[in-house]
Structure 1
């Protein structure tokens, strides 16, 4: 967005609004075409150097804000004190720089300053610093990208380990369930076999009970005596087998 064209400061004193065409850094005023002709003819200002308003608007804000006059005395800077490295007006020289022996006319100091070694050195240093900062920014950006890659790599490795652990746990679970199923089948089979044997034993014992009752009712004492001996052997065998499987408290 283009900067607005400044208004002529001289015309403004007469409440006239006219666009300025040049800028006088020594007067620190924007000047229109008509006032420029008068500015160039007056004795106090005819040697002032002006620049086009467009050039002035292209100046860095820090440069455009530089005052050409002493703030303390409102006088034009005419000298430069080498010892204090500062511009001075005539009043500054009298008040603060009377004993300074290295006072130079400001016009001599500023002559050719833009083509001086000091200006070129400052420019080179600024470029070097800018390049250094650029390299640092690039390095940090690369570091950030590298960290992101490392982060993703670690996340991938963690996910792989987790997958491996999950798969191992799944396998352990399947193996354990398989073993438990087989153990359960065997255990249940053993119990079924045991129950079947117990059922057979019970049937035998119940038959003995029935036979004993029938013998009591219908057999002779001699028959009962002989049968008791045989049944007693059978009962002893069943008692021994029953004791082997008797549950413990």
Structure 2
């Protein structure tokens, strides 16, 4: 990312320190107001499109770090090798990509990168997983809130029983409520830690979304194009984390309930505890990512022994007395 006080790179060649006002991604230089006018008149740079330096500073560091020169040969990238998935200068082409059949002009490849299907797909996937995480957080928060109602219901049941058999129930009531409190704290702790994990995931996804939005607004097509590969890896990590959550038991909806002892009326000799505090965990419906749903649409149905139906095309009969040396060597079906 650019420094907090960017200096004009052109003025620096004359040992003059002057604040830059724009950034030219093609020249890869910060430029002040005075130099910008000259930059716009020069033949090699008059068609360049500098952006305000404050917009450049908003770019994600990974995007701002992308340069348009070959570090090995110090030449401008002019080509893109589809086979090796990398930009090339003329020297790279002659040294390493001479036999590559899919070299394309870089300007043609990066044209419209920010409006490309790949960029839009990244945006959609980031929004998709962010929305799913948000929905799940809301669901878990509602689940957490329901514990209070469930707890109050259980307490009421316990107190009604105690009114009838108070003497013996005082100790058992205390034991049960302690277990209830511990179970509630445990479940709340589980959900709180899960919500924290989900919030961290959402923060990562929202950071990706923010980077994509800033890149779309302020980055060059070249920067956006090369950034797509890196974002693909980042969003795939979040998608894999989301898919792994689908098998996590913490995804399940939990309810606290009480199983009262059936022998309460004979508690003086039979009852050693008032009840058991348990958690009823019901499986949560798996929520698919959009790309998973789209993938299912195109999965072909494979033939198996169970769904293959044979049709009789032709029959033949062996005449009586046929030699037992006659062999059937092959059967085929279509």
Q: 1:150 to 1:43 in 2, by over 3 A?
A: same
Task: Quote the residue 1:8 is aligned against.
Answer: 8
Q: State the distance in 1 between where 2:35 and 2:48 align.
A: 14
Q: State the distance in 1 between where 2:124 and 2:53 align.
A: 29
Q: In structure 1, the residue corresponding to 2:80 is in which secondary structure?
A: strand
Task: Quote the residue 1:194 is aligned against.
Answer: none
Task: Quote the residue 2:23 is aligned against.
Answer: 23
Query: More helix by proportion, 1 or 2?
Result: 1
Q: 1:159 to 1:27 in 2, by over 3 A?
A: farther
Q: Does 1:118 align with 2:118?
A: yes
What is the deviation of 1:135? Answer: 1.7
Q: 1:169 to 1:58 in 2, by over 3 A?
A: closer
- Under a length normalisation based on structure 2, what TM-score does the superposition of the two structures give? 0.43
Task: Quote the residue 2:131 is aligned against.
Answer: 131
- Under a length normalisation based on structure 1, what TM-score does the superposition of the two structures give? 0.56
Q: 1:10 to 1:169 in 2, by over 3 A?
A: closer
Q: State the distance in 2 between where 1:70 and 1:144 align.
A: 55
Total equivalences in the alignment: 168
Task: Quote the residue 2:264 is aligned against.
Answer: none
Q: State the distance in 2 between where 1:74 and 1:133 align.
A: 45
Q: 1:142 to 1:94 in 2, by over 3 A?
A: farther
For residues 56-100 of structure 1, give each alpha carbon's deviation from its aligned partner in whole angstroms, at most 9, with x where no partner exists.
223233322222222333322211111222222222222222211
Task: Quote the residue 2:323 is aligned against.
Answer: none
What is the deviation of 1:106? Answer: 0.9
Query: Gapped runs of 5+ residues in structure 2?
Result: 171-334
Task: Quote the residue 1:215 is aligned against.
Answer: none
Which runs of structure 2 are paired with 1:125-204 in the superposition (5 Å)?
125-147=125-147, 149-150=149-150, 154=154, 166-168=166-168
* Larger Rg belongs to: 1
Which runs of structure 2 are paired with 1:3-152 in the superposition (5 Å)?
4-147=4-147, 149-150=149-150
CA contact 2:113–2:119 (8 Å) conserved in 1: yes
For residues 20-78 of structure 1, give each alpha carbon's deviation from its aligned partner in whole angstroms, at most 9, with x where no partner exists.
11101122211001111232333443343211223222323332222222233332221
What is the deviation of 1:104? Answer: 0.9
Larger mean CA deviation between 111-120 and 98-107 belongs to: 111-120
Q: In structure 1, the residue corresponding to 2:125 is in which secondary structure?
A: helix
Q: In structure 2, the residue corresponding to 1:17 is in which secondary structure?
A: coil
CA contact 2:11–2:18 (8 Å) conserved in 1: yes
Q: State the distance in 1 between where 2:133 and 2:80 align.
A: 34
Q: In structure 2, the residue corresponding to 1:87 is in which secondary structure?
A: strand
Query: Gapped runs of 5+ residues in structure 1?
Result: 171-249
Q: In structure 1, the residue corresponding to 2:104 is in which secondary structure?
A: strand
Q: State the distance in 1 between where 2:61 and 2:148 align.
A: 40
Q: List structure 1 runs of 4+ shifted beyond 4 angstroms.
A: 147-166
Task: Quote the residue 1:228 is aligned against.
Answer: none
Q: Which has the higher contact order (CA 8 A, sep 6+)?
A: 2
Q: 1:137 to 1:111 in 2, by over 3 A?
A: same
Q: State the distance in 1 between where 2:124 and 2:80 align.
A: 25
Q: In angstroms, what is the RMSD of aligned CA positions?
A: 2.9
Q: State the distance in 1 between where 2:57 and 2:6 align.
A: 9
